[in-house]
Structure 1
Amino acid sequence: MPKPFQFDIQVESRRISLRSYAKINIGLHILGRREDGYHEIRTIFQTVNLYDRLEIALIRGQEIEFTSDDRGLDPRHNLVVRAILSLSRLKKLDKGYRVHLEKRIPVGAGLGGGSSNAAAAIHGIRRLLDLNLSHKELFEIGGSLGSDVPFFFVGGTALGVGRGAEVYPLEDQPEKYLLLVVPTYAISTVDAYARVTLPLTKKIKKSIIPVFCPGYLDSLDRWNFVGNDFEKVAFRDFPKLRGIKKNLLETGAFAAGLTGSGSALFGLFNSKRELLKARRAIESKQFRVIPTKTLSRKQYWNCLVESLQ
């Protein structure tokens, strides 16, 4: 039986393979609901060395031929296809693409997999067609696709403000060992925001960056975890998450917490030995445990494109 959304179209010679990296949030504070309905947040984004692989080839015609090893992805409606369509409309492109996505980043875990895939698709077509895209255009396209997407046009360590789509690069911190603990269940970001902000009625009418940024930056210098407002809801609904965070700290992590709206937690370690000790203590059939490292901005950009033909 033929696979869905596939066409018998001759492939051109140019193709690109990219790494689509995950991220964690080293702290996330929700300040209130904005007048546009979104939430005002402050967060520190950090790229990590866990990635999906995205392959894009130019094909004759104007179709988007999408496949993935993740059967849960709708081949016609997903962030990769939406990103390509948005870029095509902006630049009035009339190209066709064959796209394959290999998923390794857990879905619904707060690791930014879908947002990273969208940004990687834009990066890939930009390189394939040698497009001239300004930072303003990149951020506008990214922000229209999702609040986390613009971060992946920066990478490394960055400050996220507004609804998270306003991103400012920060000086990269020394590489750290990282343990990701991913439950078998996902947490809806929309539902998490609705539940965590029930008692919050304050409207944000002006920027309060000067009030919140110094504490974030000082904590980042010391690699102190400054907290995640989603933990209150996530730990109440899923008590085992609280126990995992406690175990990470007790087994050597100098910082640990929920990333994004969850459901994944992370622990930061100063040595591989400490990380492996924690991994042995936490491993369970109920969780996927992923050892990795933080990724600097330079490493992110150097490794983003695997091949271009």
Structure 2
Amino acid sequence: MLAYIGRRLAIAIATVLAAVVISFLLVHATPGSPGAVVLGPSGTPAQIAAKNHELGWDRPLWIQFLDYLGHLVRGDLGVSLIDGRSIGADLAARLPVTASIAVLATLLSGVVGIVLGVTAAVRGGWLARIITVGSGIGLSLPAFWVGILFVLVLSLQLNLLPATGYIALSQDPLGWLGSILLPVLTLTVGGAAIIARTAAAGMREALGQEHIRTLRALGTPTWRIRYVHALRFTSVPVVSVLGIQFIGLFGGSVIIENLFALPGLGQASQAAVSAHDFPALIGVVIVATAVVVVTNLLLDLMVAALDPKVRTA
């Protein structure tokens, strides 16, 4: 197990380093320069060149990269070209917004999806057909349109939840929950549909396994066969899908955060791209990559714990 963890850690570190290199090179390959961003349209070529020299933009690329890497190791992501704010502090304030939405949506998708999927596999009949059709509809609906529908019904018509805005957890826990509930529900619709189909297929396969038939022959209670032995077999693909779903929700938060006016990483990335704020853009990429890499690492360890065959693969 230790060798497996060591291999995964090495892959995780290499992935983050590759993301840093690629984002650094892509930023330097794009048109424009920090001097032009700082001075704006009124800057003359001479002023822009002087500003680029001040910022070190005209130094050899490998020297700039080593300098940036040195700051990054110390936890320094630099400052914004637009307003001079600390990028690390700004992203640290935005990270809980995106993370809380992705985590809660993933957990709620898991609970709802597992209940529906197991019910469809165990009960069968008309109930299974309804769940299958419903999950198909949930998968076909874009999250953006689901969010608009929830805003129309739950906010504008029923006035149950705020349509936009964010309240910090430390400021008002109930207000925080209310401010993120709509985006969480929006992301749960498609996520629960995927988990329901995965859980249903896994449960049907599990109930047909040889060891399950042996347990039935030995007189093991039906509830124990279904919800202990078969569910453990089903948990491996479900955990894998949940991990991938969290990564997708975390990395694809731009649309949802802009729809509900949430100050998360997705909004920060769009603002950095629009303003050509190169340091902020690299910072968002690095933070998002680090979260995805850590999630993948934890996912691999969970799957390995559930299925010992993975550790020897």
Query: Which structure: larger Rg?
Result: 2
TM-score by length of 1: 0.28
TM-score by length of 2: 0.28
Structure that is richer in helix per residue? 2
